[in-house]
Amino acid sequence: MYALFVKEINSFLNSLIGYISIAVFLIAIGLFLWIFPGNDLNIAESGYASIDGLFNITPWVYMFLIPAITMRMFSEEKRTGTIELLLTRPLTEFQIVFAKYLSGVILVLFSLLPTLVYAITVYVYAAPVGNVDIGGMAGSYLGLFFLAAGFVAIGVFSSATTDNQLVAFIVAMFLCMLCYTGFQSLAGIMPVGTAANVVYQLGIAAHYDSMSRGVIDTRDVIYFLSVISLFLMMTKLTLESRKW
């Protein structure tokens, strides 16, 4: 499993599209947080020592970045016919799925780590120095990690359903958007009450918003782990269906 994990990492790092995807992500985030005037995300204009804008915009950018990272994981194997060879390895379907999933999570972390520069900048230039909510910031990063991990699971599943990378990208982007805002939008048009709240809680946005406020609730963690497990199991079943 480790060999497959390393292979996936190297495959991405040897691909130009990998570097382009991460570069576009970092540039887009940087422009909104520091350059573009007249938006609520701009740190310099807000007058507050906070990077809340980062946690507000990153989920939307990840809806495009993560599908770009995961779209080839299984679809390329199917297109080239190497999926059959992969399934003959002394690995279970779940080990194959998990190796590819874990590589996707690590690659997304590669894109997230450079944003710590923004956190350090805000910390240094706060008045006085260090006058920031470190605990809240750490909790927000943890929430962003869980959201990204959920999106990667969705992307891996989407890639396993087709041999076309573009289709895998579109399906993953649609599912990420649906899971993030779909339930929230549906709850918004329902009469206020228990049913609307239940529908709202089914969406990723509800639990991410909770964690992005720096509140680490075990219910939110369990929710994200459940979403990840669900899509990984669906990916496993998709691979197993090739044997039927």
Tens of pLDDT, residue by residue over 210-233, are: 888 777 889 999 999 999 999 999
Among 34-43, 57-66, 113-122, 172-181, whose mean pLDDT is lowest? 34-43
Label residue 161 exposed, middle or buried (CB < 10 Å: 0-12, 13-18, 19+): middle
In order of 87, 159, 239, the CA distances from 94 in angstroms are 11, 15, 9
In order of 20, 147, 187, 210, 238, the CA distances from 197 in angstroms are 39, 20, 7, 14, 32
pLDDT at 79 over 80: yes
Q: What is the mean pLDDT of residues 186-212?
A: 85
| Distance (Å, whole) CA 1 – CA 97 | 10
- The confidence score (pLDDT) of residue 15 equals 78
- The confidence score (pLDDT) of residue 199 equals 86
Whether the Cβ atoms of residue 130 and residue 34 lie closer than 8 Å to each other: no
- The confidence score (pLDDT) of residue 47 equals 65
Tell me the pLDDT band of 106, cut-offs 50, 70 and 90.
Answer: very high
pLDDT at 180 over 90: yes
Whole-structure pTM over 0.85, yes or no? yes
Count of beta carbons in the 10 Å neighbourhood of residue 170: 15
Q: What is the mean pLDDT of residues 189-208?
A: 85
- The confidence score (pLDDT) of residue 242 equals 66
Tell me the pLDDT band of 158, cut-offs 50, 70 and 90.
Answer: very high
Extents of the domains making up the chain = 2-243
- The confidence score (pLDDT) of residue 8 equals 81
Tens of pLDDT, residue by residue over 44-73, are: 666 666 788 888 899 999 999 999 999 989
Q: Phi first, then psi: what are they for 168, rounded to 5°?
A: -60, -40
Q: What percentage of the chain reaches a pLDDT higher than 70?
A: 95
pLDDT at 244 over 60: no
| Distance (Å, whole) CA 91 – CA 11 | 20
Angle, in degrees to the nearest 10, between helices 165-177 and 134-160:
140
| Distance (Å, whole) CA 137 – CA 132 | 8
The residue that leads in pLDDT, 139 or 105, is: 105
Residues contacting 22, CB < 8 A, separation 6+: 65, 110, 111
| Distance (Å, whole) CA 5 – CA 202 | 31
Q: What is the mean pLDDT of residues 180-189?
A: 86
Among 42-46, 86-90, 208-212, whose mean pLDDT is lowest? 42-46
Count of beta carbons in the 10 Å neighbourhood of residue 30: 16
Tell me the pLDDT band of 111, cut-offs 50, 70 and 90.
Answer: confident
Q: What is the mean pLDDT of residues 133-156?
A: 91
